[in-house]
Amino acid sequence: MPSWPMNQWYVAAYSSEITHELFGRTICDEPLVFYRTSEGEVVALADRCVHRRYPLSRSHLVDDQVVCGYHGFTYDQRGACVAAPAQKRIPRTARIPTWEVREVDSLIWVWIGDQERADDALIPRAPWLDHPDHTTVRGMEPLKARYQLLVDNLLDLSHETYLHGGYIGTPEVAETPITTEVDDEADVVYVSRHMDDAACPPFYAKSTGIQGRITRWQDIEYHPPCLYLLHSRIAPVGVLPPAEGPDDQAFHVEVVYAITPETEHSTHDFWMVARDFALDDEEVSAFLAENNRTVVLQDVEALDVLEVVVEGEKDRYQELSINIDAGGLAARRILERQVEAGRAEAAAGTPAPAGAST
């Protein structure tokens, strides 16, 4: 049984990654191949030919059909084999599974689980990523650690002070208590840390041009399992949002992560930084992209090490949690509940194997 929730949407790729070329990526232990048809529609198929299991991502497209690079079995976008070498009759079982995919907010979401259950209303939103009032920089770093370690990491930002000093960390992050709220109906965890009088870390000082100390708000909104939003508000000390009207004396940065398991011990760490200032300033874009990537790589390095430690200790270790862990513990509880729900649904008679429909 997988450790991630089934019957959920996961981010598989950025819109810009999926073109009229075959693109392979493993999502939740499923090797998938993606492409965009000439009509612009995104297709997700199993990345395995039915004939001898050759990865279709190593094949090529002819029009909108996938021609296996080994012996030429040809599949349409619904996974049906439409041509095989040296014979007219195509076996009825010559069909590869397809996955439900949606393109929303410049993200490609794939439904992992019973494909009949795919529900568009369950896709969490991050509208800034694809909105003219914001400019976004983004990347993806491969993480050799289980996805739960990235969830823990992102839900407790007190680590910024220690792991990301000189970038986004200042003493106030670790010193300021958090408030945590959980919406058990909608499965959302909120963690807030409002710093009234804080040093401005280089990440924000250089990108906004703000000088001196700041009011710095971090409002996390985690939609388990995949989407993590950090609403970051930066303003001169004492400048609070007005009772009415736009909050235009502050800078807003929407930091978004998509946490997508690749396997039980590896994760796709998608990161995005959307801002509502200096929209056309390419220097600011380059600075934020480079700095955020550095910060993400600091986390990746730490979590890669932690994975080896945790895996090596198996069930023998005991953790100790304190107040700063309230958000991470709430996230774990929701994830456990989601994992259980997915298992119960599967036990109740889902006919298809994990992730597959034909």
Torsions phi, psi for 133 (to 5 deg):
-80, 0
Residue 52 binding ligand FES, by CB under 6 A: yes
User: Applying CB under 5 A, which part among 95-103, 137-145, 258-266, 298-306 lies near Fe ion?
Assistant: 298-306
Residue 4, token pair as written in the block: 């991630």
Comparing CB distances to ligand FES, the nearer of 54 and 167 is 54
Among 49, 235, 255, 300, binds ligand FES (CB under 6 A): 49
DSSP conformation letters of 91-127: -TT-B--EE-EEEETTEEEEEES-GGG--GGG----G
Residue type, 346: A
Q: Which residues of 255-274 are buried (b: 16+ CB within 10 A; e: fewer)?
A: bbbbbbbbeebbbbbbbbbb
Q: Is 141 helix (H, G, I), strand (E, B) or coil?
A: strand
**Residue from 230, 194, 193, 200 nearest 214 by CA:** 200
Torsions phi, psi for 312 (to 5 deg):
-70, -30
The crossing angle, in degrees rounded to 10, of helices 147-155 and 282-313 is: 120
Cα 256 off chain centre by: 8
- Are 44 and 18 in contact by the 8 Å Cβ rule? The answer is no
Site string for ligand FES, 209-248 (x = CB under 6 A): ----------------------------------------
How many residues bind to Fe ion according to rule CB under 5 A?
A: 1
Residue 114 binding Fe ion, by CB under 5 A: no
Q: How many CB atoms lie within 10 A of CB 2?
A: 17
Residue 71 binding ligand FES, by CB under 6 A: yes
Q: Taking the complex as a whole, how short is the minimal distance between the CB of residue 25 and ligand FES, in angstroms?
A: 19
Q: Taking the complex as a whole, how short is the minimal distance between the CB of residue 55 and ligand FES, in angstroms?
A: 9
49 binds, among Fe ion, ligand FES, none (CB under 5 to 8 A by kind): ligand FES
Comparing CB distances to Fe ion, the nearer of 269 and 299 is 299
Among 3, 29, 61, 70, binds ligand FES (CB under 6 A): 70
As a whole number of angstroms, the distance between CA 193 and CA 306 comes to 25
Residue 221 binding Fe ion, by CB under 5 A: no
299 binds, among Fe ion, ligand FES, none (CB under 5 to 8 A by kind): Fe ion
Residue 156 binding Fe ion, by CB under 5 A: no
Q: How many CB atoms lie within 10 A of CB 344?
A: 9
Among 15, 24, 54, 231, binds ligand FES (CB under 6 A): 54
Comparing CB distances to ligand FES, the nearer of 72 and 139 is 72
Q: Which residues bind ligand FES (CB under 6 A)?
A: 49, 51-52, 54, 68, 70-73
